[in-house]
Structure 1
Amino acid sequence: MLDTLREICQEHWQWRHQLMNLAVFDLKKEVRGTAFRWVWLMIKPLMYIGVFWFALALGLRAGHSVGDYPYILWLSCGLIPWFFMQSMLNTGTSIYRRYPYLVNRMHFPMSIISTFYALAQFIVFTILVVGMIALCILTGTSLDIHVLQVIPSALLMLVYFIMLSMLTSPLCAISKDFHQLIKALTQPLFWLSGIIYNVSNLPIDWLQTFLAFNPITFFCTCLRASLCDKYWIWEKPEILVPFVVVFVATTVIMLYFYGKLRKDVADVL
């Protein structure tokens, strides 16, 4: 596994200058032929946030301001990382099926396919987060030093989902059933991950502990800790420790399966 890790790191270092260019090209391809071009990358998530806010805050009357910040900020802190994670779950987990022509290119390293796709989605995520912080400043919403936690949390999310993509993509390429399983789980994960509700308010203690091992819950909690609840994530080991366990386990499993299956993917596709 150490040899696999060394190979992945070497490929990323050798292609470090091309990664961002590939990410931008992937975004350009997504909006090619449209009149509003890059604006469409923002319109969809903003519409989702508006619809969820309307349904929860006005329709169901379940959303209300918490402390010194408005409910829509708390809601956005869950939905904005979800847009990135949803893309990685829907497409990133089967990225080799999206780019079979790159997999079959002899001199193109497979490991960076997951990385440049994740970077493309991360650009949109970053713009949304920066826009949300700017809106908080303009509207006088209180922010403090904890906002700096957004940066390591976001980078950790990027690294984790790159690894998840590298773990699942070979499996999805070889097994269509596994690909269908991932697609079937994406929507349930939205409702089970505390994106639109506070996990700490659940009445069952063991359920809170179980959800602490959900990386989606962790990253939404990190953004809310930075912008809304204002605490350092390491101050709550009941949240951090389960994620560290999942992160290490994902790394080990990814290195094992990627090392075993990467040579078979091109033949299958």
Structure 2
Amino acid sequence: MGYLHDGHMALVEASRARCDLTVVSIFVNPTQFGLTEDLSTYPRDFLRDEKLCREAGVAIVFAPDAREVYPAQFETFVEPGELAKSLCGAFRPGHFRGVATVVCKLFNMVRPDIAFFGQKDFQQCAVVRRMAIDLNLPIEIVTVPTVREPDRLAMSSRNRYLSKEDRQRALAISRALFAAEAEFRAGERQCEKLIAIARRHLDEVDRLQYIELVDADTLEPALSPLRHPAALCAAAYVGSTRLIDNVILRPEVSTEYAIKL
């Protein structure tokens, strides 16, 4: 949605490594914002974004107008299923309906062979991948690992909303996730304990929406003892800014169970 950072540039780099031609779509999508969310204030700087794309070797910057994406009398939407109901979907009604619709439309406009999405938006990746499969879209969906600041805060366009003090407090989110990941690597496989470990580090956020450990494929609550890849996902408000993050916990994976990450 613009206001590009190194996380977006990692998607460009991944695309250029695999593809003959790279297209970046930039569109602040109104249908994925709730009535009280930050559509009007969402950071925008198209000239800066375009310059970054050109310097990174992007062939085409596709930045349609809202009236082109949603013309008069537009009324057809893509309605995602169970994958969109938990985590962020439980707190942002209609969000993934807007995401699925605009991504489907952008796919039809650009006609890519491969599309690259960031792991920070883990649930979005799952919803988009399911949509591509269910609607027989001939597109490979690739998830690129989250890019982080030197202090491990996940890069996000919304980080610019944070005051200096809030920026420091926001580190509690990644600190919580990595604390649980460390215990997982040390051998802990009980989901409740891993969640509790993460939760202990989240006192500095102003409002915790969720900290959940879910199956990386189905997004259903992970089962103990953890035997399949799982995503430990968090969403919290620091000041008035909503931030999300996750880490993937990968036990020994059997040959019959593989997640595209």
Regarding TM over 0.5, the answer is: no
Higher helix share: 1
Higher strand share: 2
Name which structure has the greater RCO, CA cutoff 8 Å, separation 6+.
1
User: What TM-score, normalized to structure 2?
Assistant: 0.26
User: What TM-score, normalized to structure 1?
Assistant: 0.25
